Chains A and B, each alone.
Chain A
Amino acid sequence: MNVRLYVWQRATAAIMAPLVLVHIAVIFYATRQGLTAADILSRTHGSAIWASYYGLFVAAASIHASIGMRNVLIEWSPLDERRAGLLAVALGLLLALLGFHAVIALVVT
């Protein structure tokens, strides 16, 4: 971990902290109100707010997890820093791909 990655990881954590709280609140609301998948999709379709909210969440989570996994790989695997970095970037891209795919499904399709 160097200072650049440290700043990115702390910044993405700061972004995610309030997003996680809202996300949990939404889950509680949806389950308490007994909303079905169709109910939820009818509210999120075409919503720029939900697209921005979860788009930002996915971007922050992908960067944050990627940096953390790089650290884990350097410490707990035989990979050197360069290989650990490449694998961590690949993992981050996979998370972003899956996440943005879910966001598109939520607000577009």
Chain B
Amino acid sequence: MSGTQQELSVSLWRGGKDGRYRTYAVPRRESQTVLDVVTYVQRHLDPTLSYRFACRVGVCGSCAMTVNGKPRWTCRTHVAKVAGAGRLEIGPLENLPVIKDLTTDMAEFFQKWQRAKGVFAPSQTRHDSIAQIRPDTPARAAADAAIECINCGVCYAGCDTVRWNSAYLGPAALTRAWTLVNDQRDAGNRERLQAVAVDGGCHSCHSHQSCQELCPQTLNPTAAIAGLKRRTAAAYLKGEIKA
């Protein structure tokens, strides 16, 4: 089915791991996003299509899919930008188990956030006064650099190291760890540095920088991981953490 100016040829992944692509004809519209296309198929052509979205405005991180071979946030990806010759091939995110159609099981992705100690460890109680944070310190600038992560999984799906080494924590979890390492209010750094210094931690990163190239929020997980490598190496040499 060839696409025309008025019509897109859209191949969508259908089924589970052993599924296949099925092609649909979708009307071309002005300012149309990839999520609009997927929604059109479900609302008008095949109501059994499964996919995930929530906010539609690039905040929630739910709607990431593989679009013409690259992981993207579909709600903010315009068809005009990616549909060369009026064709779209949309599949589930890679490096994650497929549940059905375009939905993946994100459990392992978020479990790795837990393993990387991506949870804030408070150093004060509600009875203490509010911490005064200077925005111009180098540590706060490093924390702020990655704080806009929306947990969409695009970096994880595009990471070669995740593909080759299933134990690797991945760019998102490590970036979260780096944010907290630089948060002066956090009290869990020794455990966090220990958690990311083991096999599958930050030192597994090859600095291919796919995460940096693909991140829809234009964050730089590679730089965050490099920071963790330096910080953990220093902590190891001081005897603060073990391999």
Report which A residues bind B (CB closer than 8 A): 1-7, 10, 71, 74-76, 81
Contacts and interface: CB of A to CB of B under 8 A. Distances in A.
A2 B229 CA distance: 10
Contact of A5 (B161, B232, B243): B243
A7 B161 contact: no
Contact of A7 (B165, B198, B201, B237): B237
Given A10-B233, A81-B199, A4 B243 contact: yes
Contacts of B233: 3, 6-7, 10
Size class of the B contact interface (CB-based, 8 Å): 10 to 19
18 contacts: A2-B197, A2-B199, A2-B201, A2-B203, A2-B243, A3-B201, A3-B203, A3-B236, A3-B243, A4-B236, A4-B243, A5-B203, A6-B203, A6-B229, A10-B233, A75-B161, A75-B164, A76-B164
Contacts of A7: 233, 236-237
B165 A3 contact: no
Closest 3 CB pairs of A and B: A4-B243, A75-B164, A3-B197
Contact of A74 (B165, B198, B237): B165
Please report whether the interface of chain A is mostly helix, strand, loop or mixed according to DSSP.
helix
A49 to B, nearest CB: 30
A3 B164 contact: no
Interface in B220-243: 229, 232-233, 235-237, 241, 243
Interface in B4-25: none
Given A1-B201, A3-B243, A6-B233, 9 more contacts: A1-B199, A2-B197, A2-B203, A3-B198, A3-B233, A5-B243, A6-B229, A7-B236, A81-B167
Nearest to B193: A3
Given A6-B229, A7-B233, A1 B203 contact: yes
Contacts of A81: 167, 199
A76 B241 CA distance: 29
B113 to A, nearest CB: 20
A74 B168 CA distance: 11
A83 to B, nearest CB: 13
Nearest to B236: A3
Contacts of A3: 197-198, 201, 203, 232-233, 235-236, 241, 243
Contacts of A2: 197-199, 201, 203, 243
Nearest to A7: B233
Contacts of B161: 75
